[in-house]
Amino acid sequence: MVNGSSQRLGAIFLALSDPTHRAILERLAQGEASGTELAQPFLISVPAILKHFHMLEHAAPMRSLHQAGRQSLLAATEEVCLS
């Protein structure tokens, strides 16, 4: 039987097993960023970065912030940044 804690740990390890996810998390630990800013070092599209972000959001406390024009700003919560 798998309890909720094991499922959560599984989601966290799965998300962190991807180097792109780890790089996004490292960037967001420095402060909020737009999808465009997150996508720039990877040479992938903003929608692809947002899919990566949503995988992280499922595993860790991430959040989408206010709209800045047409862009949403993304951030890790303080809990993630302190870990």
Residue in 63, 80, 74 with CA at minimum distance from that of residue 35: 74
Domain count, the chain: 1
Q: Which domain holds residue 30?
A: 4-82
Q: Does residue 60 have a pLDDT over 80?
A: no
Residue 34 sits in a domain whose CATH number is 1.10.10.10
Burial of 49 (0-12, 13-18, 19+ CB in 10 A): buried
Q: Comparing 74 with 22, which gets the higher pLDDT?
A: 22
> Sorting pLDDT into bands at 50, 70 and 90, what band is 1?
very low
